[in-house]
């Protein structure tokens, strides 16, 4: 793996973007940061391209202009252009998609583009394009078979998106030394949250401060205290690009209040309350546990859980297990999916066998949990983007607006 093949095809396609790029990496929070940035710049009246991954229901979700997903026709045209240009050069699924997205963006009249790293950063396909500003949200253990088995190794890979004399933002309050050292080595201007820019939560909102900027903001549209760190990284990036893309404080506040993102502690049903969360690593699961603790519930918490086998499943389960009354575990219909039987063996460390129910797919698990739940119970569906995609697809077909028990 490397960037040579992607660079060859990018050059054949003459992909030389004239718009500024913000590249976003990190273990968790990438999607939230990209969505917040897109909303702010659209609210400010700019033409905005955004490339994210993975998708939940349709591939088109990955490529958007002004918050609107790319059409089938434009997507096919972009892929066809990449296919012609690559000739005998082999490309991965993600590399092909990244080049197609940028080909499309270069044919629009855009003011700014936000690119989300798919895996790591240093060798990720989006890293062939030069950012005006880079963000690493958090650094934690995930994709260890590719990125390394320590935060130091993973931090080095994610820091690979930093550039000389460009702003490098880190939303991890305790970044690994490898990330700091990489920024120093390449000559990036590193700004770390709660060291170089600060946030303070208040009862009716929050406060952001950095050099030359003080903002008092309303509550975020996205739930969870960890989203404040993501929002602070966003504001630091917007501040950095203010000279070329000025944004009014009112646009920032209005956009951040309006942002919604599927699958990030998102409530999709009431009575019983049903939440979906893509949490699939220990750090994300800890944030999920915090959100569950902070949200009121006078009944039981039922968990529908399905996850990929190559994740730190013990770490994910351990973070939320004390809050769960019943588990409804399911197979994932994917090559990397963990089997419900294997999940049961891991769950037995935390609960008795009677509290664990096994299903062949997520939809069956959701139906069973829903039938078992009283009005004052809540259901959390989590563990993977695949899990949330199944939940979102099934919510109107299998759930009702009201339940009487």
Q: Does 404 fall in a domain? A: no
* pTM (two decimals): 0.88
Written as six digits, the tokens of 141 are 């253990």
Cβ contact 27:148 at 8 Å: no
How confident is the model at residue 143, as a pLDDT? 63
179 and 243 both lie in a single domain: yes
Last residue of a domain, one of 236, 258, 280: 258
322 and 227 both lie in a single domain: no
131 and 270 both lie in a single domain: no
- CATH code of residue 176: 3.40.1190.10
**How many other C-beta atoms can be found within 10 angstroms of the C-beta atom of residue 384?**
25
Provide the residue range defining the domain that includes 320. Answer: 266-398
Query: Could you read off the pLDDT of 274-292 as tens digits, one per residue?
Result: 999 998 888 889 989 988 9
254 and 106 both lie in a single domain: yes
88 and 176 both lie in a single domain: yes
Query: Can you say whether the dihedral through the CA atoms of 46, 115, 336, 313 is positive or negative?
Result: negative
Question: Which residues lie below 8 Å from residue 291, measured CB to CB, with a gap of 6+?
Answer: 223, 224, 265, 277
pLDDT at 379 > cutoff 90: yes
Written as six digits, the tokens of 261 are 């993102």
Query: Could you read off the pLDDT of 231-245 as tens digits, one per residue?
Result: 999 999 999 999 999
Q: Which of 179, 141, 142, 138 is nearest to 161 (CA)?
A: 179
Q: What is the number of structural domains in the chain?
A: 2
The secondary structure element, H or E, covering residue 236 is: helix 226-240
Query: Could you read off the pLDDT of 165-192 as tens digits, one per residue?
Result: 999 999 999 999 999 999 999 999 999 9
Cα dihedral value 368, 371, 375, 380, nearest 10 = 10
Our CA angle for 270, 273, 278, nearest 5°, is 120
pLDDT at 109 > cutoff 50: yes
286 and 388 both lie in a single domain: yes
Strand, coil or helix: 181: helix
**How many other C-beta atoms can be found within 10 angstroms of the C-beta atom of residue 260?**
11
237 and 275 both lie in a single domain: no
- CATH code of residue 271: 3.90.190.20
Written as six digits, the tokens of 56 are 């939940």
Percent of the chain with pLDDT over 70: 95
Distances in whole angstroms, Cα of residue 334 to Cα of each of 135, 271, 317, 376: 31, 31, 20, 33
Q: Does 405 fall in a domain? A: no
Last residue of a domain, one of 258, 285, 310: 258
> N- to C-terminal Cα distance for the chain?
55
Cβ contact 22:133 at 8 Å: yes
């Amino acid at each position: 793996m490397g960037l040579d093949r992607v660079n060859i095809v990018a050059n054949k396609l003459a992909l030389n973007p004239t718009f500024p790029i913000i590249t976003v990496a990190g273990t968790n929070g990438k999607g939230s940061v990209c969505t917040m940035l897109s909303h702010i710049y659209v609210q400010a009246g700019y033409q905005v391209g955004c490339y994210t991954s993975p998708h939940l229901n349709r591939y088109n979700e990955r490529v958007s202009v002004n918050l609107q997903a790319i059409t089938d026709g434009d997507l096919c045209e972009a892929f066809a252009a990449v296919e012609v240009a690559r000739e005998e050069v082999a490309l991965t699924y993600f590399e092909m998609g990244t080049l197609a997205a940028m080909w499309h963006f270069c044919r629009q009249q855009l003011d700014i583009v936000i690119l989300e790293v798919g895996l790591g950063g240093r060798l990720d396909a989006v890293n062939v394009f030069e950012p005006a500003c880079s963000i690493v949200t958090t650094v934690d253990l995930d994709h260890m078979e590719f990125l390394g088995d320590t935060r130091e190794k993973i931090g080095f890979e994610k820091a690979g998106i930093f550039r000389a004399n460009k702003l490098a933002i880190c939303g991890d309050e305790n970044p690994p030394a490898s990330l700091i050292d990489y920024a120093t080595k390449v000559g990036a201007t590193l700004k770390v949250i709660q060291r170089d820019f600060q946030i303070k939560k208040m009862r009716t909102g929050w406060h952001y401060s950095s050099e030359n900027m003080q903002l008092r903001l309303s509550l975020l549209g996205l739930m969870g205290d960890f989203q404040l760190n993501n929002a602070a990284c966003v504001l630091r990036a917007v501040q950095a690009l203010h000279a070329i893309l000025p944004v009014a404080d009112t646009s920032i506040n209005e956009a951040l209040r309006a942002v919604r993102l599927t699958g990030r502690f998102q409530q999709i049903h009431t009575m019983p309350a049903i939440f979906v969360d893509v949490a699939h690593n220990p750090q994300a699961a800890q944030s999920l546990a915090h959100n569950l603790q902070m949200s009121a519930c006078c009944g039981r918490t039922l968990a529908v859980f399905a996850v990929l086998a190559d994740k730190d499943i013990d770490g994910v389960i351990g973070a939320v297990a004390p809050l769960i009354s019943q588990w409804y575990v399911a197979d994932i219909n994917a090559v990397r999916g963990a089997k419900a039987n294997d999940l049961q063996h891991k769950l037995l460390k935390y609960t008795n066998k009677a509290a664990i129910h096994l299903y062949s797919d997520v939809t069956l698990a959701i139906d069973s949990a829903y039938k078992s739940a009283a009005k004052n119970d809540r259901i959390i569906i989590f563990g993977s983007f695949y899990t949330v995609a199944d939940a979102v697809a099934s919510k109107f077909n299998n759930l009702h607006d009201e339940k009487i028990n």
